[in-house]
Amino acid sequence: MEILVASFNEHKIEELKPLFVSHRLLSPVDLGYGEMEIEEDGSSYFENAFIKAKALYMLTGMPTLADDSGLSVATLGGAPGIHSSRYGSKDGRQKLSTAERNALLLAEMEGVKDRACAFYCCLVFLYGPDRFLSVQETCPGALMEIPRGEGGFGYDPLVFLPELGKTVAELEPEVKNMVSHRGRAARTMNVLLQSFDPRR
């Protein structure tokens, strides 16, 4: 099945493709759409994923997969959370770079002993105006004091997985796909899609 991914983040799309090998994932750019601003004003990962899925579904009529994900730090009351990609940005100014966001988060956590955190991922597959499937998963870890690792993207160099002894950015792609929030959510979504028939 051809599925449109409601994202202009090429890193995210490339990470999703090997997780959905039975389907052909397309980006909006593949269909000739330039980057557009979708206002993610929901109060949860699910609401923001649904907003993105619906925006692209209404534009194209294609079955659409949207991902909303982020990093939640316990001591910060769950921040950056749903604002992870816009963390530290002020009204009227551009988003911070990945390095700037990571540095800001580490500065806010300087000297804090409780460094428990978790990645969250909510996937929404929308195949009709009011017909959808949704899955949410997590990947718990501990926040590093300095970044480590060159792989992945976003906050990956900051999140240490004690059971593997590595940060997410130090994992081989195959291992990351097994343990990450996005990999876990994708496996469950794939099970749901095995019985999906858009004609019904």
- Annotated catalytic residues are 68
Q: Is the peptide bond before 80 cis (omega within 30 degrees of 0)?
A: yes
Mind spelling out the 3-state secondary structure of 40-74?
CCCCCHHHHHHHHHHHHHHHHCCCEEEEEEEEEEH
Q: Which of 187, 176, 139 is nearest to 22 (CA)?
A: 187
Q: Which of 124, 133, 177, 127 is nearest to 1 (CA)?
A: 127
Run of H or E residues at 175: helix 173-179
Instruction: Name the token pair of 11.
Output: 């890193």
Instruction: Name the token pair of 184.
Output: 């876990």
